[in-house]
A = this chain, B = another copy of it.
Amino acid sequence: MADFRFELISGGASGPRLGRVHTAHGAFDTPAFLPVGTQGAVKTVSPEEVRDAGAQAILANTYHLHLRPGERLVRELGGLHRFMNWDGPILTDSGGFQVFSLSELRTLTPAGVTFRSHLDGSSQFLSPEIAVRIQEDLGSDIMMVLDECLQYPATYEQASASLDLTLAWAARCKDAWRGRNALFGIVQGGGYPELRLRSVAGLRAIGFPGYALGGFSVGEPPALMYDLVGATAPHLPEDKPRYLMGVGTPADLVEAVDCGIDFFDCVLPTRNARNGSLFTATGPVNIRNAAHAADPGPIEPGCPCAACRSYSRAYLRHLALCRETFGLRLNTIHNLSYYQRLMAGVREAIAAGRWAAFRDGFRIAQAAKRD
């Protein structure tokens, strides 16, 4: 952990914060959005394009890389950074989320979870200790504890029992951690503020270099997420980074920053790009729409991304209709750029002391888009 350090530049236990997360592979400025490189590649784009879009750190998925190509191979080849040619910080999840969402025939015991690989049906076992070891083999800069990921909605009793298991696993992960890199605890507790606070207290008692908020973006209304994040974040240690996992829309990011969250990851910009749905300041653009057939303009006027600099909506629509993968890449470059520009704007607003105006202006623009 010698290389991991969180520098809180401004803000406190609640409300918007400005910071910098330092790792053995460089630092990233917070609030930050981390693009998702599920299988050791951010889909359709190169590491240079991810960097050019403004991203300083990425996420990779432990579950996917464990099943293929396997963390031992990655370690033999010099670690995930070298393998995928990304020299910046890499955060890995624990694999738990995919075990609970992708795999079949799960058997959960206090020891861990047995599941079938979604690739070949082979039987696999994941425990807190194994999850940490896999992430260490990958060479992750920020690792996550193994947690049970609840379905939404869950009853109070289900969420409470699950939380007990998750806290026990968090303690085992901490014990298994060799102290290199960083290990984050994950706040669970479903939709129940009381359980969320019990989770925070339990994790603080164990002690982690950072804290993630899990179990969101699983189907709950956005307002419930904002309430829960707003109720939870102030109880997290002020001097440690807070990471809201798997979130979210641009509005989600702004609201969560307002609650004191430091960073995010989500497949939304990259996945939507591949579906032809492009983010702009004036609302989403579906590039496949006939309205763009003869449009010589860029996706978003003024956007400095490589897609907007050199290609028209008409061309991007043509590529989408032709299923040319180059179009998926240009769309992805734009959406990643949009998210990174949003976060840069967030950081500038906090730094300049005009966060409330930024947030309120964003909310008004969001409301206008819905009209």
Contact = CB atoms under 8 A, between A and B. Distances in A.
Interface of A: 39-46, 68-69, 73, 76-78, 83-85, 293-294, 296, 310-312, 314-315, 317-319, 321-322, 324-329
20 contacts: A39-B318, A39-B319, A40-B315, A41-B319, A41-B324, A43-B326, A44-B325, A44-B326, A68-B321, A68-B322, A69-B293, A73-B314, A77-B294, A77-B314, A78-B296, A83-B314, A84-B315, A85-B311, A325-B328, A325-B329
A46 B45 CA distance: 11
Given A83-B312, A318-B68, A318-B69, A325 B324 contact: no
A318 B40 CA distance: 9
Contact of A325 (B43, B83, B85, B319): B43
Contacts of A42: 326
A8 B77 CA distance: 50
Nearest to A321: B68
Nearest to A319: B41
Contacts of A322: 39-41, 68
B68 A293 contact: no
A293 B69 CA distance: 8
A40 B314 CA distance: 12
Contacts of A314: 69, 73, 77, 83
Contacts of A85: 310-311, 315
A38 to B, nearest CB: 9
A327 B69 CA distance: 15
A36 to B, nearest CB: 13
A225 to B, nearest CB: 31
Contacts of A317: 69
A69 B327 CA distance: 15
Contacts of A69: 293, 314, 317-318, 321
Given A68-B318, A83-B314, A312-B83, A326 B45 contact: yes
A71 B296 CA distance: 15
Contact of A73 (B44, B84, B293): B293
Nearest to A83: B315
Report, nearest first, the 8 A-B pairs whose CB atoms are least far apart: A325-B325, A39-B322, A85-B310, A69-B318, A41-B326, A41-B324, A44-B325, A77-B296
A85 B307 CA distance: 11
Given A83-B314, A296-B78, A318-B40, A326 B73 contact: no
Contacts of A326: 41-46
A306 to B, nearest CB: 8
Given A68-B322, A83-B312, A311-B85, A294 B44 contact: no
A293 to B, nearest CB: 7
Given A39-B318, A45-B326, A83-B314, 19 more contacts: A39-B319, A39-B324, A40-B318, A40-B319, A41-B326, A41-B327, A43-B325, A43-B326, A44-B325, A46-B326, A68-B321, A69-B293, A69-B321, A77-B312, A78-B296, A83-B318, A85-B311, A85-B315, A325-B328
